[in-house]
Structure 1
Amino acid sequence: MLHHAFFWLNNPASREDRDALIRGLETLRAIPLIRTLTIGVPALTEQRDVVESGFAVSELMVFDSLADQNAYQSHPLHQRFVEECSHLWSKVVVYDVEALP
């Protein structure tokens, strides 16, 4: 199970806000349900119609199952992250993907 979230900042030009969001995402590494967590920022690839690079930060998580991903949503560390960092973003888009064998 893949969980990919993209965050747009309230203050897109603020490096401080971006770094605070990244620090907040880093705290999620302590959740044992997450098998893999990758945090990133838009790559400086060629701009094409199909490339969305307006977000500030993304996180890609891998879970062993849909049940683990569902449990992650109510995990206290995830709830604390949302509580402490949600003031930083104006928009979040999530793609949940069931990986094929």
Structure 2
Amino acid sequence: MAASAASAATLATASAVGAGIEANTGQVVHTVYFWLKNPDSVADRDALIAGLKTLKQVPEVKSLHVGVPANTEKRDVVDNSFSVFELMFFDDLAGQSTYQQHPIHLAFVENCSHLWDKVVVHDSLTV
């Protein structure tokens, strides 16, 4: 996950520069979707949620939101196949990079990675 996030941050920087936007301006929005190995396990879902909430202790994390799919109207553009969702905000790319190597984040990955089958990360730079 850390390698994917770092690659996404690098890509976001390159895209921002290519679009004429200064690379280090704006917040970084870090969204992560998790699919559980045992999607029907409430215990696994709750353990992942508890693990995600520990990430708020990382000083670079300015805001953290954790959720599960909403039971909204079924439409072709809505993908609610994931089990748990995380949304974080960082002041800048440096903060997001520091977070990736922070001991609390590394402990979360070590302690919770056995719970998920798939993770998708989307990092964006606000403009």
TM-score, scaled relative to structure 1: 0.98
- What is the RMSD of the two structures over their aligned residues, measured on CA atoms? 0.4
Q: After superposition, give the CA deviation of every residue in 1:52-84 in whole Å (9 maximum; x if it has no partner).
A: 101010000000001100110000000000000
| Aligned twin of 1:32 | 59
Which structure's CA Rg is the greater one? 2
Residues of 1 paired with 2:104 and 2:74: CA distance? 36
Runs of 4+ displaced beyond 3 Å: none
Aligned equivalent of 2:110, options 79, 83, 101: 83
| Aligned twin of 1:65 | 92
| Aligned twin of 2:78 | 51
Three-state SS of the structure 2 residue aligned to 1:83 is: helix
Three-state SS of the structure 2 residue aligned to 1:90 is: strand
Higher strand share: 1
Cα drift, residue 47 of structure 1 = 1.0
Which amino acid in structure 2 is aligned with residue 41 of structure 1? V
| Aligned twin of 2:40 | 13
| Aligned twin of 1:98 | 125
Which amino acid in structure 1 is aligned with residue 99 of structure 2? Y
Higher helix share: 2
Identity of aligned residues (%): 57
Q: After superposition, give the CA deviation of every residue in 1:13-34 in whole Å (9 maximum; x if it has no partner).
A: 0000000000000111110100
In structure 2, list runs of 5 or more residues that go unmatched.
Answer: 1-27
TM-score, scaled relative to structure 2: 0.78
